[in-house]
Structures are given as C-alpha cells and as structure tokens.
C-alpha cells in the first residue's frame, strides 16, 4: 500500500497514470490508440499542469495488478486503463483491478454502460470497474478512442446541452474526498460537479 502522499500546491503537476492493456498492441502487431486518446482528452479536460505515467502492457492479470500498484505508489492520484474489459478469456482487466482495491466504486461502471447502451446493445457485455486504492482512484475505460471520450465526457445535444452526464464530472470531487489534488476542469469539455462548500476559488 502506498504511503500518505504529500499535499500538492496549485502549481505542482498532477500525476496521472494511463494504461493501455492489449496483447497485440503491446507486442507491436498494431499501433496502440488508447494512450494517445487518454492523453489528448485529459489535456483538453483539465486546467492543471499534468504529468503522465504511461504503460502499454499485455492482458495478463498479475502484470496489470502490478502496474496499477506501481502507479499508485508513484503518486498517481488518478489511474485510467483502457482495454481488456469484455467477456473474452483474455479480458482480465476488471479482475486485476479488483485485486488491488481497497474500495469498489460501482457507480462509475454503471454509468459507463448506460452511456454506451445509447449506441450498441452489446454495451451490457462491458465489465468496467472503478476502485480506490489508498489515495488513488483507478477506473477501467472502454478500448475504443470514441468510446473513451463518450464515457468520460458524456453525451451532448447539438447546442451543447448535456444529455447524459459523463463519468469524469464526478472524478474531481471523488479525488478530493480521498485526499488527492484539487482538479480543475475546462467546463466546455466536462464540468466537474462539487458541492458549493467544496469549491475553491479559481487560481
């Protein structure tokens, strides 16, 4: 288990772990698209200076768990994974994530499936989970870049009015509650929700 992290100042970069889990991409059979999609979306969505810890690994349960623990111990307040959440025999990301959990946060997976069901009935086959380990939030995301954006950002009408909230709106306050850094979002991408008494003055 990681030690209690040192509080960050407003100008410290927030360390975020991003993990793409794929046998074929990690072995060079095809180009990984998960890490660039995560990096691009987070850079657009967050105002904080960011430091990414990136990993591209195969669908191996022990390797996934070890990687998640390594990223938490390295001080990543948030760890996002992509890939390996379906029903196929090699899809073991949820099991590996639960192996390192202190607490499970089922609402994240429930909302991700609700968003994806707007597009495909096979969304019920997705098994994404989210957990807390120490002072870090770990979330499994879908494998496709388009689905990553939809689940994080939610669905909006043509005029920008939210139709279905994305899961990232709840991420900053969750990280507040577990003692992590204060994340500030770009509202035009994804507006974080916090109770009024938890909102800090804008820097």
Average pLDDT over residues 171-178: 98
Is pLDDT above 90 for 192?
Answer: yes
Mean pLDDT of 155-181: 92
Q: pLDDT-based confidence at 161, cuts 50/70/90?
A: confident
**What residues does 51 pair with on adjacent strands?**
15
Fold for the domain defined by 14-197: Molybdenum Cofactor Biosythetic Enzyme; Chain A (3.40.980)
| Domains of the chain by residue range | 14-197
CA dist 41 → 18, 89, 121, 128 (Å): 12, 29, 25, 19
**Is the pLDDT reported for residue 70 higher than 70?**
yes
How many beta carbons lie within 10 A of that of residue 99, not counting itself? Answer: 16
162 has pLDDT over 90: no
Task: Report pLDDT digits (tens) over 11-66.
Answer: 689 999 999 999 999 999 999 999 999 999 999 999 999 999 999 999 999 999 99
Structure confidence at residue 9 (pLDDT): 52
DSSP 8-class letter at 101:
-
Name the average pLDDT for the chain.
93
Rounded Cα gap, residues 101 and 130, in angstroms: 9
pTM exceeds 0.75: yes
Half-sphere exposure (Cβ direction) of 118: Cα atoms closer than 13 Å: 15
Q: Average pLDDT of 89-112?
A: 98
In whole angstroms, give the CA distance from residue 37 to residue 101: 25
SS3 65: helix
């Amino acid at each position: 288990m990681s030690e209690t992290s040192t509080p960050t100042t407003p100008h410290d970069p927030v360390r975020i772990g991003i993990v793409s889990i794929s046998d074929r991409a990690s072995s060079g059979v095809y180009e990984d698209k998960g890490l660039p999609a995560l990096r691009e979306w987070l850079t657009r969505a967050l105002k904080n200076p960011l430091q990414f810890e990136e990993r591209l690994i195969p669908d191996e349960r022990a390797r996934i768990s070890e990687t998640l623990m390594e990223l938490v111990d390295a001080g990543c307040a948030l760890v996002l994974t992509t890939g390996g959440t379906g029903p196929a025999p090699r899809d073991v990301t949820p099991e590996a994530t639960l192996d390192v959990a202190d607490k499970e946060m089922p609402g994240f997976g429930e909302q991700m499936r609700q968003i994806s069901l707007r597009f495909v009935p096979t969304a019920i086959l997705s098994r994404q989970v989210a957990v807390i380990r120490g002072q870090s939030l770990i979330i499994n995301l879908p494998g496709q870049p388009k689905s990553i954006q939809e689940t994080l950002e939610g669905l909006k009408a043509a005029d920008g009015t939210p139709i279905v909230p994305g899961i990232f709106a709840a991420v900053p306050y969750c990280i507040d509650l577990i003692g992590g850094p204060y994340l500030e979002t770009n509202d035009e991408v994804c507006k974080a929700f916090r109770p009024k008494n938890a909102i800090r003055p804008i820097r």
